[in-house]
């Protein structure tokens, strides 16, 4: 069961103004619309149940992966909530819930890029996502994470000090490579997670957070 958590504005304002300038946890829940996220061929499809989706094709693979959904600064996706210097802001992980229509399990991940869409960091979660099941994917934001496939000729610090786009992707299984299979990818609860210090500040305020289950 997916859990959506929204911290009220008063909590955000209080911690954002702290001397430590810690990042506020943010989760895009797509409660009312697609929040300007896009797919390969235009705006993402919005499901009133509270998630987004896009159709992809495995013939479009790049670096062995297919980018399914994009949250770009140029489109003001999620009102720019994911855009900035993830290193100084203390982001320790990107998480999202995903469901897909491929006939076999697939590995999901993200391409996190600078504002001009290059260079980017491509990271994969090694836990396969089974077809038709909502699954949480986690990409630790650490240079030591072994799931980084490529920094596209750059390095961790250069990219994560200037994030301009969050792109959700999947690794094309060998059995599907070049087949032209159309795959629907759905996403929800896309979140950036702060370090332990910021979470400690939030803990006393959690009872006034709004929680909702689907």
Residue 56 has pLDDT above 70, yes or no: yes
Residue 154 has pLDDT above 90, yes or no: yes
CB count within 10 Å of CB 127 equals: 12
Helix, strand, coil percentages, rounded to 5, for the chain: 15, 40, 40
What is the distance between the alpha carbons of residues 100 and 93, in angstroms, rounded to a whole number? 22
Check residues 4 and 60 and name the one with the higher pLDDT: 60
| Residue % of the chain over a pLDDT of 70 | 80
In this prediction, residues 14-35 reach a mean pLDDT of: 67
Residue 204 has pLDDT above 50, yes or no: no
Q: How confident is the model at residue 16 (pLDDT cuts 50, 70, 90)?
A: very low
25-194 is classed CATH 1.25.60.10: no
CB-CB contact of 205 with 109 (8 Å): no
Beta bridge partners of 137: 96
The count of residues in the chain is: 214
Q: How confident is the model at residue 17 (pLDDT cuts 50, 70, 90)?
A: very low
Range in 19-28, 43-52, 68-77, 144-153 the model is least confident about: 19-28
What is the structure's pLDDT at 24?
A: 63
What is the structure's pLDDT at 61?
A: 82
What is the structure's pLDDT at 80?
A: 93
Q: Is the dihedral of CA 33, 89, 122, 146 positive or negative?
A: negative
Mean pLDDT of the chain: 85
What is the structure's pLDDT at 206?
A: 39
Beta bridge partners of 77: none
Check residues 20 and 156 and name the one with the higher pLDDT: 156
Domain coordinates of the chain in residue numbers? 25-194
213's tokens: 């289950």
Residue 28 has pLDDT above 70, yes or no: yes
In this prediction, residues 203-209 reach a mean pLDDT of: 39
| pLDDT tens per residue, range 87-145 | 999 999 999 999 999 999 999 999 999 999 999 999 999 999 999 999 999 999 999 99
């Amino acid at each position: 069961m997916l859990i959506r958590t929204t911290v009220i504005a008063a909590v955000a304002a209080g911690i954002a103004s702290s001397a430590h300038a810690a990042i506020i946890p943010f989760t895009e829940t797509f409660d009312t619309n697609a929040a300007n996220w896009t797919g390969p061929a235009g705006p993402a499809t919005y499901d009133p149940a509270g998630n987004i989706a896009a159709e992809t094709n495995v013939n479009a693979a790049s670096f062995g992966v297919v980018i399914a959904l994009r949250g770009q600064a140029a489109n003001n996706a999620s009102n720019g909530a994911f855009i900035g210097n993830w290193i100084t802001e203390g982001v320790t992980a990107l998480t999202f819930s995903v469901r897909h229509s491929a006939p076999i399990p697939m590995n999901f991940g993200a391409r996190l890029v600078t504002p001009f869409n290059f260079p980017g960091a491509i990271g994969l979660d090694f836990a396969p996502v089974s077809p038709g099941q909502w699954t949480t994917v986690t990409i630790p934001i650490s240079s030591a994470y072994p799931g980084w496939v490529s920094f596209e000729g750059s390095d961790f610090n250069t990219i994560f000090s200037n994030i301009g786009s969050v792109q959700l992707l999947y690794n094309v299984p060998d059995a599907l490579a070049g087949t032209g299979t159309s795959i629907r990818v759905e996403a929800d609860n896309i979140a950036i997670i702060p370090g332990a210090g910021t979470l400690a500040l939030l803990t006393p305020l959690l009872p006034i957070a709004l929680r909702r289950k689907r």
